[in-house]
Amino acid sequence: MKNVFIILFISGFFTAFGQGNLQFNQVLRINNIAQTVPVNKVWKIESYMQSQTALSDGTEISTCNYLDRHHPFLINTKPYYLINGSPGHGSSGTYMAVGNQLPIWLKAGDIVQTTCVDNFLSILEFNIVP
């Protein structure tokens, strides 16, 4: 009988501190206008589409005037580049990490956007259901 109460207490403890289940809500397409993950939701960035990028140069740049360069997207105002392949450098001599991969999960309050209007992020939104 004592063991039954201990098991019930432990399972109740973990249930009280659980984060809930995820329920699919909608698909979002976000570009250069900053969007915030709402309360009781999580976002999963599935893909990042960049318009007119040349693959011949691995140079990163945050201005949209150079269409042949990789542009970052921003999470909480920090730039993230998705570069596949070997690390490279451009004329600036800046090296890029190849470790950034999708998907990326975002919690409530995180802010995300692209740096160029023609680029977009494809995001799945989930409700957190208790």
Q: For the segment 42-54, what is each residue's pLDDT rounded down to a tens digit?
A: 999 999 988 765 5
**Which residues are 49's β-sheet partners?**
120
- Which class for 71: exposed (0-12), middle (13-18), buried (19 or more C-beta within 10 A)? buried
Least confidently predicted of 12-21, 55-64, 95-104: 55-64
Domains identified in the chain and CATH numbers: 21-129 (2.60.120)
Token pair 């392949």: residue: 85
Supply the pTM of this predicted model: 0.69
